[in-house]
Amino acid sequence: MIQGKRLAATAALISAVLMVGAVACKSAEIADPTPVLTPKITPASSAQPTKPAATTAATSAATSAATSAATSAATSAATAEATKSSETPSSGGGTKLTIVASNIVFDKSSLSAPAGKISIEIDNKDGGVPHNIHVYKGKDASSESLGMTPLNAGPTKDTLELTLEKGEYYYQCDVHPTTMTGKLTVN
Protein backbone atom coordinates (compact mmCIF):
# COMPACT_ATOMS: atom_id res chain seq x y z
CA MET A 1 0.00 0.00 0.00
CA ILE A 2 2.86 2.42 0.79
CA GLN A 3 4.50 1.64 -2.55
CA GLY A 4 1.17 2.32 -4.27
CA LYS A 5 0.94 5.73 -2.59
CA ARG A 6 4.55 6.53 -3.54
CA LEU A 7 3.89 5.50 -7.12
CA ALA A 8 0.72 7.63 -7.28
CA ALA A 9 2.52 10.63 -5.75
CA THR A 10 5.42 10.26 -8.18
CA ALA A 11 3.03 9.99 -11.14
CA ALA A 12 1.26 13.17 -10.00
CA LEU A 13 4.58 15.02 -9.75
CA ILE A 14 5.64 13.87 -13.19
CA SER A 15 2.30 15.03 -14.63
CA ALA A 16 2.74 18.43 -12.97
CA VAL A 17 6.27 18.77 -14.35
CA LEU A 18 5.13 17.89 -17.85
CA MET A 19 2.22 20.33 -17.61
CA VAL A 20 4.46 23.19 -16.40
CA GLY A 21 6.97 22.39 -19.15
CA ALA A 22 4.20 22.47 -21.76
CA VAL A 23 2.97 25.84 -20.46
CA ALA A 24 6.52 27.21 -20.61
CA CYS A 25 6.86 26.08 -24.22
CA LYS A 26 3.50 27.46 -25.25
CA SER A 27 3.98 30.85 -23.54
CA ALA A 28 7.40 31.33 -25.06
CA GLU A 29 6.28 29.88 -28.44
CA ILE A 30 9.49 27.89 -28.74
CA ALA A 31 10.55 24.30 -28.42
CA ASP A 32 10.78 22.95 -24.88
CA PRO A 33 13.77 24.82 -23.34
CA THR A 34 13.67 22.83 -20.10
CA PRO A 35 14.43 19.12 -20.13
CA VAL A 36 12.07 17.12 -17.97
CA LEU A 37 13.88 14.62 -15.79
CA THR A 38 12.15 11.38 -14.91
CA PRO A 39 13.02 10.27 -11.39
CA LYS A 40 14.15 6.71 -10.82
CA ILE A 41 11.73 4.98 -8.45
CA THR A 42 13.36 2.54 -6.08
CA PRO A 43 11.69 0.83 -3.16
CA ALA A 44 12.66 2.44 0.13
CA SER A 45 13.34 0.34 3.19
CA SER A 46 11.68 2.84 5.56
CA ALA A 47 7.98 3.61 5.77
CA GLN A 48 8.59 7.33 5.03
CA PRO A 49 8.02 8.40 1.41
CA THR A 50 10.84 10.33 -0.24
CA LYS A 51 10.61 13.25 -2.67
CA PRO A 52 12.64 12.73 -5.85
CA ALA A 53 15.20 15.54 -6.21
CA ALA A 54 15.12 15.42 -10.02
CA THR A 55 11.39 16.20 -10.11
CA THR A 56 11.81 19.17 -7.77
CA ALA A 57 14.66 20.58 -9.88
CA ALA A 58 12.74 20.12 -13.12
CA THR A 59 9.62 21.75 -11.68
CA SER A 60 11.62 24.70 -10.40
CA ALA A 61 13.44 25.15 -13.72
CA ALA A 62 10.24 24.90 -15.77
CA THR A 63 8.41 27.38 -13.52
CA SER A 64 11.30 29.82 -13.74
CA ALA A 65 11.44 29.52 -17.54
CA ALA A 66 7.68 30.05 -17.89
CA THR A 67 7.71 33.11 -15.63
CA SER A 68 10.69 34.63 -17.42
CA ALA A 69 9.20 34.02 -20.87
CA ALA A 70 5.81 35.49 -19.92
CA THR A 71 7.38 38.60 -18.34
CA SER A 72 9.65 39.15 -21.33
CA ALA A 73 6.81 38.76 -23.82
CA ALA A 74 4.52 41.16 -21.91
CA THR A 75 7.24 43.81 -21.55
CA SER A 76 8.20 43.56 -25.24
CA ALA A 77 4.59 43.86 -26.37
CA ALA A 78 3.88 46.86 -24.14
CA THR A 79 7.10 48.61 -25.21
CA ALA A 80 6.32 48.03 -28.90
CA GLU A 81 2.81 49.45 -28.43
CA ALA A 82 4.18 52.44 -26.51
CA THR A 83 6.73 53.21 -29.19
CA LYS A 84 4.08 52.95 -31.91
CA SER A 85 1.61 55.27 -30.17
CA SER A 86 4.04 57.84 -28.73
CA GLU A 87 4.66 61.07 -30.58
CA THR A 88 8.20 62.11 -31.45
CA PRO A 89 9.49 64.72 -29.00
CA SER A 90 9.89 68.19 -30.52
CA SER A 91 12.51 70.74 -29.59
CA GLY A 92 10.39 73.89 -29.54
CA GLY A 93 7.98 75.61 -27.14
CA GLY A 94 5.24 74.25 -24.97
CA THR A 95 5.00 73.35 -21.31
CA LYS A 96 7.35 70.83 -19.73
CA LEU A 97 6.06 68.74 -16.83
CA THR A 98 8.07 66.21 -14.83
CA ILE A 99 6.73 63.32 -12.79
CA VAL A 100 8.92 61.04 -10.66
CA ALA A 101 8.24 57.31 -10.27
CA SER A 102 9.71 56.00 -7.02
CA ASN A 103 8.70 53.15 -4.71
CA ILE A 104 5.92 52.20 -7.14
CA VAL A 105 4.09 55.56 -6.83
CA PHE A 106 4.15 58.84 -8.76
CA ASP A 107 5.32 61.87 -6.78
CA LYS A 108 2.30 63.87 -8.05
CA SER A 109 -1.32 62.77 -8.29
CA SER A 110 -2.27 65.86 -10.29
CA LEU A 111 -0.61 67.95 -12.97
CA SER A 112 -1.76 71.12 -14.74
CA ALA A 113 -0.70 72.99 -17.86
CA PRO A 114 -2.06 75.49 -20.38
CA ALA A 115 -3.58 74.15 -23.60
CA GLY A 116 -1.16 73.46 -26.44
CA LYS A 117 2.09 71.53 -26.62
CA ILE A 118 2.83 69.64 -23.42
CA SER A 119 5.94 67.61 -22.73
CA ILE A 120 5.68 65.11 -19.84
CA GLU A 121 8.93 63.61 -18.60
CA ILE A 122 8.77 60.49 -16.43
CA ASP A 123 11.82 60.09 -14.22
CA ASN A 124 11.83 56.42 -13.16
CA LYS A 125 14.00 56.10 -10.06
CA ASP A 126 12.96 52.49 -9.28
CA GLY A 127 15.99 50.38 -10.20
CA GLY A 128 14.97 47.32 -12.21
CA VAL A 129 11.24 48.14 -12.06
CA PRO A 130 9.45 49.04 -15.33
CA HIS A 131 7.25 52.16 -15.41
CA ASN A 132 5.68 54.36 -18.06
CA ILE A 133 3.17 57.18 -18.26
CA HIS A 134 0.04 56.62 -20.34
CA VAL A 135 -2.36 59.56 -20.90
CA TYR A 136 -6.07 59.12 -21.65
CA LYS A 137 -8.71 61.62 -22.78
CA GLY A 138 -11.22 61.35 -19.94
CA LYS A 139 -11.34 60.31 -16.31
CA ASP A 140 -10.01 56.73 -16.49
CA ALA A 141 -8.20 54.15 -18.60
CA SER A 142 -11.41 53.15 -20.41
CA SER A 143 -11.19 56.46 -22.30
CA GLU A 144 -9.34 57.14 -25.56
CA SER A 145 -5.57 56.64 -25.33
CA LEU A 146 -3.64 59.76 -26.35
CA GLY A 147 -0.10 58.43 -25.98
CA MET A 148 2.39 56.74 -23.70
CA THR A 149 6.07 56.36 -23.08
CA PRO A 150 7.74 52.96 -23.49
CA LEU A 151 7.92 50.62 -20.50
CA ASN A 152 11.48 50.90 -19.21
CA ALA A 153 13.07 49.55 -16.05
CA GLY A 154 14.71 52.30 -14.02
CA PRO A 155 16.64 54.24 -13.46
CA THR A 156 15.65 55.98 -16.71
CA LYS A 157 13.91 59.04 -18.12
CA ASP A 158 11.41 59.13 -20.99
CA THR A 159 9.39 61.99 -22.45
CA LEU A 160 5.89 62.05 -23.94
CA GLU A 161 4.99 64.94 -26.27
CA LEU A 162 1.29 65.80 -26.66
CA THR A 163 -0.82 68.68 -27.95
CA LEU A 164 -3.87 68.94 -25.70
CA GLU A 165 -6.99 71.09 -25.64
CA LYS A 166 -8.62 72.45 -22.49
CA GLY A 167 -10.06 69.64 -20.37
CA GLU A 168 -9.35 66.89 -17.86
CA TYR A 169 -7.14 63.92 -18.68
CA TYR A 170 -6.18 60.76 -16.80
CA TYR A 171 -2.69 59.27 -16.56
CA GLN A 172 -1.32 56.01 -15.17
CA CYS A 173 1.59 53.60 -15.22
CA ASP A 174 0.41 50.58 -17.21
CA VAL A 175 2.35 48.16 -14.99
CA HIS A 176 0.96 49.60 -11.72
CA PRO A 177 -2.50 51.02 -12.59
CA THR A 178 -3.80 50.82 -9.02
CA THR A 179 -1.01 52.75 -7.28
CA MET A 180 0.35 55.01 -10.03
CA THR A 181 -2.45 57.23 -11.34
CA GLY A 182 -3.30 60.90 -11.59
CA LYS A 183 -5.28 63.71 -13.19
CA LEU A 184 -3.92 66.19 -15.75
CA THR A 185 -5.88 69.44 -15.96
CA VAL A 186 -5.36 71.51 -19.11
CA ASN A 187 -6.56 75.14 -18.82
Each residue's pLDDT tens digit, 26-69: 444 444 444 545 555 555 555 555 545 555 555 454 444 444 44
Whether the CA torsion 110, 113, 117, 118 is positive or negative: it is negative
Q: Residue 76: its pLDDT value, please?
A: 43
To 5 degrees, how large is the angle CA 166–CA 81–CA 131?
75
Which residue, 84, 106, 135, sits at the end of a domain?
84
Number of domains in the chain: 2
Same-domain status, 136 and 171: yes
CB contact set of 112 (below 8 Å; sequence gap of 6+): 184, 185, 186, 187
CATH number of the domain enclosing 169 = 2.60.40.420
End residue of a domain, out of 84, 110, 131:
84
99 shares its domain with 38: no
Phi and psi based region of residue 48 (left: phi greater than 0; alpha: psi -120 to 50; beta: remaining): beta
Are 23 and 111 part of one and the same domain?
Answer: no
**Rounded distance between C-alpha atoms, residue 88 and residue 162, angstroms:** 9
Each residue of 116-139: pLDDT tens digit?
Answer: 999 999 999 999 999 999 999 999
Q: What domain range includes position 121?
A: 90-186
Q: Are residues 12 and 40 in the same domain?
A: yes
- Looking at the fold, whether 75 and 126 belong to one and the same domain comes out as no
